[in-house]
Amino acid sequence: MKLEEIKKFVKENKAEFIDVKFVDLPGSWHHITLPVESLDKELFENGIGIDGSSLRGFTRIERGDMILLPDNDTAFIDPFFDQPTVSFIGNIMESNRTVTPYSRCPRRVAAAAERYITKIVKGAQAIIGPEFEYYVFDKADYKQEPGMAYYLVKSAEADTIDDEAADNLGYKIGWKKGYHAAPPLDRTFNLRSEISTLLKNVGVGLKYHHHEVGGRGQHEIETAFQPLLKMADQSMLVKYMVKNHCFRSNKSATFMPKPLFNEPGSGMHVHQYLAINGNSIFFDKTGRNVLSKEGLYYIGGVLKHVDSLLAFTNPATNSFKRLVPGFEAPTAGTYSLGNRTACIRIPGYQRNPKTMRFEFRPPDATMNPYLGYAAMVMAGLDGIKNKIDPGLPLDKNLDDLSKIELDKIHQLPTSLDRATKALAADHIYLLEGGVFSEDLIENWLKVRNEDFGNIGRQPTAGEFELYYDC
């Protein structure tokens, strides 16, 4: 959008404020709000001064001054502001005379990855399509103190007796019986449709939404595919819309990978392919599983670097409570056609060669989408560059294999600690083309290792049950 177009958009919507949202290194949105009178050429050229030292994973206090530069192509009306407000998504820039992109700015990484793609495969772009799984609770409470630690979540859909939520109408969803449940079992279908309309109003297309397997309020929204950077922006918007609309509806939404013990976890499976002129270069009707050599090499790269990838795509201690057998979550570095226990699944229902793709199943929504999508693409491009053959697919249910059979298959990291150690040892492929930087990776590892150490020191209810009477 040109400035005059933005001013017209602001006038048409009678906006009173300009809001600029930006993402920190771990992947949380922050924002700053200005009066509409601030909308001028200088805003998009010189930006807004912010303190980068107050953002987790960014700079130190002695170098805290940074610039937030709105991206003029990201304007949308924020539906949660009472006063009409036009929002932009911004980039973090160095505070110097030339206003250069900050190396740790996640949007810079995603944009650099898009440029690097064209150097490896001329004219190509990465097309990304995530699936957003999340839980909606009627109540969520938690606390961690020296003498107290608990969490309590409640859902009216649950098949357990709860006096507060009891409505004497029945229609409770049983354990792992929520997949595509219909009303009245599916109690929040209207809420999902309302969220989908909000997303449509800000330019996020819908593929579909439905109730997920988890009977205590698990849901899924899948959006239309988009190029890497745009999809990362839209991923932030999806989480923003879901959480805020549920909040104003007196409910609580969480994208936490494993909020409930022994219940299905929430992933963010990422469909992806490289396209030239709108056609997937992964399709070859004579290839293995109708995949082209480029498609197979791309998969080979992802599988080669899968352990280190998980440090970006599954960057929470809670992520690895989801990646366990028995819940359709991958635990091994394999690929397959239509097999949901595989790390990489080639959807068996694909019929359109233009969108020939695969699905990387480990990721969850704790990841910073700018970094996670970029890392996956960089691994795939490394596979194409070096012609990494992924070998033959494994078309067996991994949950049914014997220990002897499983021992022959590469197992994914089982903790954040193992994933970060893998990233420390294997990240050269991410540095190609200046996409990631040593500085960013070093600080990413620092932030995530702090999380791992902090959570590892906290007693849990399960430990009390096991060890209190030792």
Is 212 annotated in the active site? yes
Is 405 annotated in the active site? no
Are 375 and 126 in contact, with CB atoms under 8 Å apart? no
Is 220 annotated in the active site? yes
Active-site entry in 138, 359, 364, 382? 359
Is 4 annotated in the active site? no
Active-site entry in 220, 233, 263, 294? 220
Alpha helices (H) in 185-305, listed in sequence order: 189-201, 228-248, 293-304
Is 399 annotated in the active site? no
Q: Which of 168, 99, 113, 80 lies closest to 440 in space, CA to CA? A: 113
Q: Which of 396, 417, 420 lies closest to 408 in space, CA to CA? A: 396
Is 131 annotated in the active site? yes
Are 264 and 326 in contact, with CB atoms under 8 Å apart? no
Is 51 annotated in the active site? yes
Active-site entry in 216, 219, 361, 448? 361
Instruction: Let me know the angle formed at the C-alpha of 189 by 185 and 193, rounded to the nearest 5 degrees.
Output: 175
Is 359 annotated in the active site? yes
Provide the Cα torsion 267, 427, 228, 118; round to 10°: -150
Active-site entry in 284, 340, 426, 451? 340
At 271, which helix (H) or strand (E)?
Answer: strand 270-276
Residues 6+ apart with CB under 8 A from 200: 206
Active-site entry in 5, 40, 51, 399? 51
Active-site entry in 269, 345, 357, 448? 269
User: Torsions phi, psi of 129, nearest 5?
Assistant: -140, 95
Cis check: omega of the bond before 106, within 30 degrees of 0: no
Residue type, 193: S
Active-site entry in 212, 263, 364, 382? 212
Active-site entry in 71, 78, 131, 157? 131
CA–CA gap between residue 160 and residue 162 (Å, rounded): 6
Is 340 annotated in the active site? yes
Q: How many CB atoms lie within 10 A of CB 176?
A: 16
CA–CA gap between residue 190 and residue 209 (Å, rounded): 11
**Which residues are catalytic, by number?**
51, 131, 133, 212, 220, 269, 340, 359, 361
